[in-house]
Structure 1
Amino acid sequence: MDELYRMILVDDEDEVRGRISSKISGESGFQVVASAGNGYDALELIEKYNPHVVLTDIKMPFVDGIELARTIKRDFPTTRVAFITGFDEFEYAREAVELHVTSYLTKPVTQNDISRFLDKLKIELDEEFKEKYNLDILRQRYEQSIPLIIDNYFTSYLVSSKSSKSEDIENLRQHGISLDDKKYIMAFVQTERNQSSKDVIDYEKLKLSVRSVIQSILERHGYDFYSFHFNNGIVLVVKENSLNFLRKVDPVFYEMVKMVEQYLNVSIDIGVSNLHCRFSELRAAYEESEEALGFSRFLNAGRIVYINQLEKDRPKVLSLSDSEINDIMSNVKFGTDMEIRNVMESLKLNALRDSKTITNYRPYIINMVNILVNFSESIGVNLDEVLQEDVLEKMTLFRNLEQMFDWVLSVIWIGNPF
């Protein structure tokens, strides 16, 4: 320890206290911060100075050394106690063994006695401090890592086989996570990747910031929740806390969208599951929230989509017929600019006409991606290299069909010169 160890002297004889105190210098590693003539006064000083060591006489009026040591052990367990004892008191001092008092000074006290006593005591305290400091560091690091540990258990549960799920549930319960006491919804939050977060590390930092913002909002509104990173997004498990829970939590999700947009200058989309209960329904809740999030980019419901909104409508799938695909490919390869534009506008109008009842755009997107890839291959061009981004990933990021069609048309214009 770099600082001096704090010591309090307790003896009913002023002369003894003064003599011992004068023999303790800073070079010994100790400093006498206070002294007392009896046990009562000593206890007040201990509370005030929080010493590392109390050096006390055994025989004193009011509260003797043994009783003082017993009180210190009970109320100040980190403070060490050492005794000053005369030869005729040694057997009496043996009672202190049960109090873990192992250091003694025997009267009359000489400078050599003090030096040897302090050297031995400093070695013991140094070892104790080193061990305690290391344990504190380990405990602190463990406590700091608990959120990451919980993240890993949630992730393991969602991806693991059925046989290992019970172990993940038990680990989560040991960390205070319970899904059996109340119903819950799961929200899957995805952060838009903009120009400032194209780098992988920057994007991960951005997601951490988004998670921090949405957690603070849920905490401020008094919700009991868990959050973790999963599948390139943020998962929220929010427990039901009142009647009309879904109606009340909706403006909280909206607040998340606006706060992230205002303070982090980035957009988020949120897919929300139905109400569930118990750990066994966690996977189903995630699949619902992910499905809702997948629809959010092409529905007119804004950036927050509830799976129960989609289930109210009869599912309708949007896809391209074989004749439409052949018509597009023929015009892209051999048609004029006007013919290409006309066929794309016709497709867009047909798609937009049914957009309010469409709940699955994925086949349509896949069709479009295949058209672009086939077109680029026919002219000997690697589309990903030309665009410097993944085509399928790009197509899934558009918020509406108009944006997608405009982008597809721009890609065709890029490809035509080749």
Structure 2
Amino acid sequence: GLAGAPVGGAGASSGGGSGGPEKGGRVRCSRRMWVLLGSVGLVFLTSLLYSVSLRGGVSFNYLEPPGWEESRRVKLVPNYAGAHHLSPPDAPQQKTCACARCVGDPGVSEWFDENYDPDISPVWTRDNIQLPPDVYYWWVMLQPQFKPHSIQQVLLRLFQVIPGRSPYGSWDPGRCLRCAVVGNSGNLRGAGYGETIDGHNYIMRINLAPTVGYEEDAGSLTTHHFMYPESAKNLAANVSFVLVPFKTLDLVWITSALSTGKLKFRSSNQVQIFNPAFFKYIHDRWTRHHGRYPSTGMLVLFFALHVCDEVNVFGFGADSRGNWHHYWEQNRYSGEFRKTGVHDADYEAQTIERLAKARKITVFPGK
């Protein structure tokens, strides 16, 4: 048949040479062998390249946008700040200060260690002048402005008027820096904590917080006063003014007030600016997006947790009858804090309770 013709033809034509059929068979066999070896090699090379790329050993830079390597590293390896501090149960307890209980001591609370970032500065300085884009847009939208100023130019002008450095050092095993965070709750009235509050190294107060006439309950000394521009006032000598800015205009205001002498301080070192990146860190890690943003009380509490060794809390929360008001107000029903919808008072109270259970703060109960 037709099928046999080519075979016969091939056999006849190759039969002219000696040992032809055997030689042709060997050639075909060696070709097959090379094809087989080539296929195996290709499979091996492909799998090798694939496994190397999975490990991140090969980087095709021309395919990656700038900063891709950094973002990939963050996504693949979540860097929970403080996680590296966790000690095995039988390890000797590491001490970060000379107090009986220190905020920075690791291994006391896994929840605290996972959320606490010791590297983020509560103060806005020349070193952290550049806000990450996500922080900037979040902060700017807290109080949107019709015509925003250039944040860089505003800060550079401000840091010509104030030093723009953080006055706070890192943990020191030989130090015991005790701080009182004094809230404005009506539960301070009649509590008699004045002397205890005044016995701290740092005494931090919020907004109006008058002390004259309330010394027995609220104390008379202040080292740090946290204020919005709306509540700003001239402070006693050696009191640090910590501005909590909500918009670029607040920074323009403080620069002008200091330059014109509207606000007078013995030293420009007394003026510090609360860092918006620290503000957002509290919103993300600690109040977990409950409320539009954290209350000033929470901002001050976490400021203390990042600069102090021991933190004691006074004048937070409702009074014993469940009323929210200020200790200097006569009308105990006048408090509006819970009604604004801006802050989540209940969630913040739970966070404070959890910090107390984790032995990171001590809350002094009010009346």
Same fold (TM over 0.5): no
Q: Give the TM-score taking structure 1 as reference length.
A: 0.23
Structure with a larger share of its residues in helix:
1
Q: Give the TM-score taking structure 2 as reference length.
A: 0.25
Structure with a larger share of its residues in strand:
1
